[in-house]
Amino acid sequence: MVDQDKIQFDLVKLLNGERILRLTDPRTGLSLEKKLKPAEAVVRQKDLLLQVFEAALARAELTDA
């Protein structure tokens, strides 16, 4: 499991009111973002995105190895 403190989170509020959550691993440069669904809880969406991000990160590290 990745250390959350080492991941960079960007919360971007777009002009049209939509919200983007972007996760970036500064070490590998891997970045993943999602437009948040306005009706869904932010915490749940972040947790799901973090799971996907961790999986992508693990795969990227395997590929690099």
Q: Which residues of the shown chain bind other proteins in the complex (CB under 8 A)?
A: 4-6, 8-15, 17, 19-22, 31, 33, 36-44, 46
C-alpha–C-alpha distance, residues 12 and 37, integer Å? 13
Residue 37 sits at φ, ψ, to 5 deg, of -75, 125
The least distance separating other proteins from the CB of residue 30, rounded to whole angstroms, comes to 13
Question: Measured from the CB atom, is 28 or 65 closer to other proteins?
Answer: 28
Question: Measured from the CB atom, is 42 or 55 closer to other proteins?
Answer: 42
